[in-house]
Structures are given as C-alpha cells and as structure tokens.
Structure 1
Amino acid sequence: MATTLDARFILIVDDNPTNLSVLSEALSNAGFRFRIAVDGESAIAQAERNQPELILLDVQMPGIDGFETCRRLKANPVTQNIPVIFTTALADTDSKTQGFSLGAVDYIPKPFAQEEVLARVRVHLQLKRLTESLEQQVSDRTADLQKAQVQMVQQEKLSTLGELIAGVAHEINNPINFIANNIPPLEEYIAGVTEIFQLYQQEYPSPTAKITTAIKNLDLEFALEDIPKILYSLKLGTEQIESLSESLRTFSRSDSDVKVFADLHKGLDITLMILQHRLKARGDRPRIEVIKNYGTLSEVNCYAGQMNQVFMNILANAIDALDEAIKLNKLNNSIPQIQIATEIDADGWVVIRIADNGIGIPESVKPRLFEPLFTTKPVGKGTGLGLSITYQIVVEKHNGTLEVNSQLGGGSEFTIKIPTMNVIDD
C-alpha cells in the first residue's frame, strides 16, 4: 500500500545556492517535503539510505556530473526505479537524448519557472503512484509513452537537421548567385577588351619595345585563349555548387509529414553525398567503397524526408561498423565496402538492401535491435533511437518491413520493403 504524502520526499541535487533556494521555495509552498544534496556522490548515498519519491538532478556539477549520477542510480537495484528529472540549461537534442537514454523521465530548463517545476513534479509523482498500484496498466502506458517519445525525438531531429541543412544551403546560395550572375557581364567585358586589343594590333602593328616585352612576359596569345576556358570552369563550378545546394534542400525537404511521389535512388545518392566525408580515406583508414546495383524503380508515394532519414541511419551505422572492424583489424585485408541494391519484387514492392562487411551483430543483440533507447555504443556515441526510428518510419509510417541479416564478424544486411502505392496515413 502506498505511504501517505507526508512520509514521502523529493531529493533536490544542485551545487548552486540560488537554484536550491528557488526549487526549495517552490516545493515548500506547494506542500512537498524535500531534502537537499549538493553533489552526485552524496545524492547517491542519500538515495540508497532512504529512497526519495523523485529526484530533481542538476546536470552540471563538480565531481561526477548529473549524467554519471543518473547512470549510477539506474544501475543500482535499490534506486533504479526512482524517477529522475534533469534540471539544466542545456537545451540541445543530444543532451536531452543522452539523459533519456540514461533513464531520466523529463527535463526542466533553467532559469526555472516555478509553475513549470511544480507541474512537471506533480505529473511524474502521479505517474509513479499509478505505477505502484496499477503495474500492468502503467506498463502498457509506458510502452505508449516510449513510442511517443521516439516520435517526438524523431520529429525534433528531422526538424533540427532540416533547419541546419536548409540554412547551409541558403548561405551557399548567396555567394554562388553573386558569382553566377557576374560571369555573363565579365564574359562581355573580356570579349570587348579582346576586340579592342585586336583593333590596336591592326591599327598599330609595330608596338614599342616596352609593350612587346609586356606581351611576351604575359604570353598574351595564350592568356586570350585560356581566359574563356577559365570562365567556363567557373560556370561549371557554380553549377555544381548550385546542384549541391539543391540536393541539400531536397534531403531536408519540409514535406516530411506529407506524402509525395519520390525517386528513392535520388534520396540514396543525396544521403551518400552528405556522408561523403565519412567515406573518404582518413589517415591509416582506407576509403570505404560504395557499390550501387540499382534496379528500375518507379517513383514511390512516401514521406520522402523521413525515408531519407532511414537511409541516413542505416548507412551511418554501416560506416560505424566498418570503422570498428578496421579498428579491431577484423576485415582480413578486405576492402571496406557498402553495397546498395534495389529492385521491385514479385509483389510489386520496392526492395532496398544495404549491406556492409563490418563487424556484424551478435545474436544476443538482434532481438533488441529495434527497441527504443537500446544501444551497444558507449554513452555519448549513440542514443539508441536511430534504428527504432528507422523501424517506425518503414513499418508504421509506410506499412513496410525492415529486416536484418547479420553474423558476428560477417557483416550486416538491412532489407527495406515498402509498397509503391502507400496508402497508410496517420
């Protein structure tokens, strides 16, 4: 049976006296009991001795920070079920997802708004009490909340990535448009100057020694032949950068929530272009070879921006697996390689296979591969959301299938199948 409110308390963990004062005042005025710890070590010790109902945990503290404190709390069976709410000025997505991956239930941003603090505390206390009395029901609800959290992070990541790439494309466009717009008048001026020079040669066929020397030093005849070639190279360069800018805008297209008919080959190629810097040789690591075996695909009715994220997640993981295999010398002198194959199967579905010859996936990991927040990477290296989001986009958003075939030490192959005429809507 749950204890009374008076027997419960909230643990505030913060090394800043001002923050402690604000939180203490808010909780006290609302009738909550609380205790205080000024660093991670003492917070862990207090929580082990007498379990609080909830912990408000600062991220940035001397000694062990909030992330490490949370990790230790969640690793201890005595304290692992205590809800942890981070209090932090860090608002970036990576910090949030790192906290969620460690087991935190929420974030409260600084500077504090007392109403928000109390609202979030009440919500999570209510959730904890429901957990104590309605374990099975809350277990189902937790699954739903976890799914909603993945959707929220997915949308936030897509939005943030889209805004970043669109901003880069915009910044590229300004100077390139300036260069492109100035090339035609520059061509006209050079043609005019060349014509005038040729007229001078006709009217004054015997230049002075000084002019003759200058013409010889410049190699004027070669320069006049080379200038149009240089201008042509400038035009080609600006066209290539304009194409790159357009590709970036296509990858981060704002219609992620609207189905459009899209060329998935184009999405794959754009994703590879964005990842090009990771495919190139670096130091002792050789270049990662990409082999494309594209079949004939019609345009697919899909959420194009979200499918691009599917390609990004799987290809980035393949590169990670190859980097790890190279680091551990597991390639056996083979060339690091990613193979991409596409086709239409007998049922008329689009099939995309992305395979690598990296380290592979252990059998023990495969059943949990698409679980939200599950990752085998070190803290700070992965959120555990990439493949979960990928599964959700392919299976739930597009009524498709996502399968993995892998052996430890034998590489991995991810197979995406989606119907060409997708009619699933949220």
Structure 2
Amino acid sequence: MSLIVMKFGGSSVGSTERMQRVARRIADYKEAGHKVVVVVSAMGDTTDDLIDKSKELNANPPAREMDMLLTTGEQISVALLSMAIHSIGHQAMSFTGWQAGFRTEAVHSKARITDIQPDRLFKALDEGNAVIVAGFQGMTEDGEITTLGRGGSDTTAVALAAAIKADVCEIYTDVDGIYSTDPRVVKCARKLNEISYDEMLELANLGAAVLHPRAVEYAKHNNVRLVVRSSFTQNEGTSVKEEAVMEQGVVVRGIAFDKNVARISILGVGDVPGVLAKVFGALASSGIDVDIIVQSGVQDGKADFAFTVSLDDKDRAIGVVESISSEVPYREVTSEDNLVKVSIVGAGMVSNPGVAAKMFEAIYNLGVSIKMVSTSEIRLSCIIAAEPVQDVVRALHTAYGLDAAEQAFVGGPQDRR
C-alpha cells in the first residue's frame, strides 16, 4: 500500500465528463489498496471568469476581497469531485485549504506556506476516504484567507506530499509528461522520461507552464518523488528527480519561452558608485523582481543600462525609477514590451563548448536580432522581439537535435491536434 498525492489542473476537471474520468482514476488507486490525497484546481476558465467579473465592478479590487473570491473556484471543484467519487461507490471527503491545515504568511494573492497541520486529513484517510483538497489557498494565523498565486495548486500538492511523507506526488495535466518544449508550438517535441530538479526549476522559471517553480523548489528541498503525467491517458509520465540520466549526445534538454517580459532602459546615468544599488534597491523594496541586467560602456562620465521585469510590473517599475530621479539623475527612461525571452536548458551545457554559438547562429539565420543575453551554468536566455518566437523555438529545437519522430500528445481525444 502506498500513500499517493494526485494533483489535477483546471483542464483535467474542466467539465463534468472530465470530472467523472478523474473520479474513476482515483477509484482505481483506492481499489488497488492505496491511500489517496487529491489536490484540485478550479474548473477550466473559472479563475479567469471570476477575475473578469471583479474587474467589471472594480478596476482595482482590494487584494483581500480577490482572495476571498478566487478561492471559491477550487471549493467548487473539490465538492463536485467528492460527489463524483461517491457516485461510483467510494468514500471521499473534501477540504478547503485551511481545513486541510495550510497556514500561510499574511500576504494576499501570492502568500507562501509557513506550516501544514494535516491531522484532519490523516483522520479522513484512516476512515477510508479519498481526501480531496482545494489547491492554491490557505489561511493566516489571524484567520485571513490567502491564495498562493497562479499555479499555486502545484505548490499545494508538493508541499502536502512532503508534509504527509507521501510515496509519490503525481501532477496530472493535459500533456503526458514534460517535453523538450511546448508541444503546442513544436508538434514533434520530445517527451522526457526523467529530468533533474535543477533543469526543471530553470525551465519552470523561464516560462515552461507544466510545473510551478515553487512546486519544484519544494520537491527538491524535501526530496519529493514527482511525476508529471496526463489525466487523459494511462501513459507513463516524466519523473522529476535529483539526478536524471542524460541521453547520449543530448546537451540541451529543453527550450522555454516567456512572453511576460518588458525591458526598461535608463539612459544617461552618472557613472558613480552606488547608482545600481539605489535603483535596484528601490525596485526590490517595491516587490519588483528584476531578471536580466545589462550596462553599456561609459562615455563622458555617463552610462546607460537596461533591465527586464515582468510585463505586469512594467508601469510600477517605471514609477519607482521616476520616484528616485532626484537621487539618481538620468537623461531619459524608455520601455519596450513587445518582447519574449527564449531559453535553452541542460545540465550538459557546462561541459560542452559551442552551445551558445549554435543558439546565436540559429536565431541569426532567421534574421532576428538579440537584444539581451543572460547565462548560468545550465541555462542561456536571449531577449528577442515577440513576433518570431515560434519560428525561433522550432529552429532551436531542430538545431539541438530534439525533434522526435512522432507528434506529441496534447489534451484528451477530442483535443488531439
């Protein structure tokens, strides 16, 4: 008998038919003698629909009330899934995040988990129930409802697996594993049998949407056995683990792209000590994450530098820079937002020369200009114009020998394309 955590995303429970399919899969595990804890996201586009409704009433709704609103989506899912399991003759009990024992810091819309007290879940399991937990949510010590940010159900599942010492945490989605790139963009993307925590963390941070970065961090820190697989097939998924076997001749494991990118340039800044500390200290104090930073050469005692932030933070970041103009005088601030970050990731990159040159050549052959570059031991990222991104991803995928002979599986039978 194993203790299994299963997480189903919104597309997996997007209709009553899909909900019934998920219920049957849970029942199969129970009939095989396993104890099952299930984490569920809101159905389909429920979260987006709730956000749209809130904006119709208030263009800038309070964060507390948004958390109160958005957590209802997952509560609908857990109740319906529990009912579906009961309908096929199995016991199930649904829990909100706070009923399941999730305690978080007092930050609305992107809270971090501080503690999990799963006593009620163990009791429900001992009584023979499939335990169904609402993802994405928790509660502060003062009783305030919070959400964990987009993709937070992944984090809920992995953190819960660590807390209850589950044998495995299975993340179910509409693709049957982790691919070398988005299979919706590259039809012949290669499915990976396994990938390391570090490689997966890079891909997740760089735009690969199959796993949330914080979920991968939890898995790595707690050595949670993590498997990504499809809710529409019985195919074996992809294992995320500490060390993954490298395929011979494959240096780059995956290609990710992120369209949520804006570049801000500060021109004509005095070349004096402390300038960067003041600018990026002010951005950090405002909770704005900065990604790539590039400074140009100095001319006449003045320098230019540019940095990237998420598109959502662009206007706030410009406001922060303008607010410190008396401390950091500059000639001009400009911004650009029709951009995308394309990245290659692979543990083998560190010991193989020529990887960067091949990326630059593939992009150059498409007539695309590279605006910024950032590197780490296992990652290389380029900022380019957004329009040609799919052509660039396909070219890189071919250049690094990642094309598979067969098309990838995406979605259920009715969604195959």
Q: Same fold (TM over 0.5)?
A: no
- Bigger fraction of residues in helix: 1
TM-score between both structures, scaled by the size of structure 1: 0.29
TM-score between both structures, scaled by the size of structure 2: 0.29
Between 1 and 2, higher relative CO (CA 8 Å, sep ≥ 6) is seen in 2
Query: Which structure: larger Rg?
Result: 1
- Bigger fraction of residues in strand: 2
